[in-house]
Structure 1
């Protein structure tokens, strides 16, 4: 009798401990556990955390803004030769080997850690503000792309029939368009309109990137909803008589969110590359606003071949930050994709 009680108690303890372990591993906790198992995910998260602190908090600790100019004088070794003929008929020559000049590309110093650019603006400060602009553009573009993709993809997947056919044909048209040439042409048209202010050009740039980026999200959402629409929980939801919009928002979209989060994270790196490319070509963010791509354009050989060799501080730092941002978003996106994968073993 006592042995049976002991056995039952042991079984109850084992069941309770098993229940507690399962209870601890909730879906959110399980995803986070999988995510932080990956070293690349942690590295990517650390890179993004550094970029956000540098871009959004860093400017709070500096005493000047990104458009402030500095006239820096320095002594340079310059050999200048002057000659004149005296009254005695003898030619006299003078050599000046030191001269004080005001430079527009000052080298790194204690006051300006990365020097100044060709507009006499502090490079380090513009890196911070440029990161703020580039990251904000990326997040806003991804937000609007996702909104349009979810809206049209959700309608196409849920209602089907001719609505699905119409929306998917529009999506196919956007897929057939060569993205980069269209972006270059559109940005060039906007640049040619002189009445558009630099801050309005940023809005137009985000609109162009959004217009040619929502189609992939719409196709993803439509495919997911088509597969979820026939599930038993959707049949039960239809039996309750709730509206179609409520079915999409309350029952379908929550099941699509993991794929959307991964797609959004991976898409951020692509948007940064597009924005940096257009800004480098002079078709994106315009002066006086700073962006990483705009800062790299200072190394354009057409503006002086000596920039690449003698002024690496103007282009290496923004290039490194662009690479760090793209790699960070890709590492985090890959980690989230693996963490949300239901086929992964614990």
Structure 2
């Protein structure tokens, strides 16, 4: 192939479009190549939509009908009824509201704590880095489930928190024991990026530490934070479900997928639908979020375009 032909091949319209496209467009195109992630996004969208439109159900989550207790799935009750005659489908939808809200809120709070700790530790280094990372290592060594149960129990015993919803307590507990992973990731990126020329240039023109961290270094770590955040949402949902299943999470009559499973264990053989549907929702949601995280990781990876 002649030089003219090569030049023409490199400058054909399709290639110019790819190079001129904004970064967000390239990221979106890479994400669409991950077919499982696209399917997972559609599935997660359906789960979120079902939770948002839960009030459209003809039943309420607390509506009881003891004469219709433990009925199998039917046209009137798609997921059957529980021991008090409540519609399991409606309670599963409302439980999704709580579980998804806990997962998202706990993740945002833990990311806020972890990003701040990682920024300060990675940027300043030295004694500050050593102190913050030893605290982080200390939290990582804690037996997570035991500490979650202990903190949740202690918080419920504080009179001043008597009016605080069990949902808020669960969010705080999960966030306090989840910030360490984003902190270590952000710290590693800050250690690497603070040696780059653009940071040196910012320092040379008199930019302050806060501006350098927030305006110059942090935007370059957003991709890692987003990917880590998606994985942490799934972790938070599973953790909330485990706590509620053990009786230390969201308290009845507020439905969540975890306490729905806790109620179902008594009737596991007699009414298996009580545990099948909430458990299936936890599984589907967690898998969908994990696949979305994989897709985002590949989309933000600059080498995945090859």
Asked if these proteins are the same fold (TM beyond 0.5), I'd say yes
- The residue number in structure 1 matching 2:263 is 298
Higher helix share: 2
- Which of 151, 168, 174 is matched with 1:209 structurally? 174
Indicate conservation of the 8 Å contact 1:190/1:201, yes or no: no
Aligned counterparts of 2:8 and 2:302: Cα–Cα separation in 1: 30
- The residue number in structure 2 matching 1:218 is 183
Q: 2:302 aligned with 1:342, yes or no?
A: yes
Deviation at 1:64, TM superposition (A): 3.4
- Which of 186, 208, 214 is matched with 2:151 structurally? 186
Report matched runs for 1:76-225 at 5 Å: 102-190=67-155, 200-225=165-190
Aligned counterparts of 2:246 and 2:167: Cα–Cα separation in 1: 14
Deviation at 1:315, TM superposition (A): 0.9
- The residue number in structure 2 matching 1:50 is 46
Aligned counterparts of 2:264 and 2:10: Cα–Cα separation in 1: 67
- Superposed CA offset, 1:149-193 (max 9, x none): 111111111112221111111111111111112112223334566
Report matched runs for 1:248-287 at 5 Å: 248-287=213-252
The TM-score with structure 1 as length reference comes to 0.81
- Superposed CA offset, 1:26-78 (max 9, x none): 32122111111112111211221111011112x2422332122224xxxxxxx
Q: 2:216 aligned with 1:243, yes or no?
A: no
- The residue number in structure 2 matching 1:319 is 279
- The residue number in structure 2 matching 1:31 is 27
Deviation at 1:231, TM superposition (A): 0.3
CA separation of 1:259 and 1:69: change in aligned 2, threshold 3 A = same
Indicate conservation of the 8 Å contact 2:68/2:81, yes or no: no
The TM-score with structure 2 as length reference comes to 0.91
Indicate conservation of the 8 Å contact 2:156/2:162, yes or no: no
CA RMSD, 1 decimal? 2.4
Deviation at 1:286, TM superposition (A): 0.5
Q: 2:49 aligned with 1:67, yes or no?
A: no
Indicate conservation of the 8 Å contact 1:157/1:221, yes or no: yes
Higher strand share: 1
Deviation at 1:12, TM superposition (A): 8.0
**Unpaired stretches in structure 1, ≥5 consecutive residues:** 1-6, 72-101
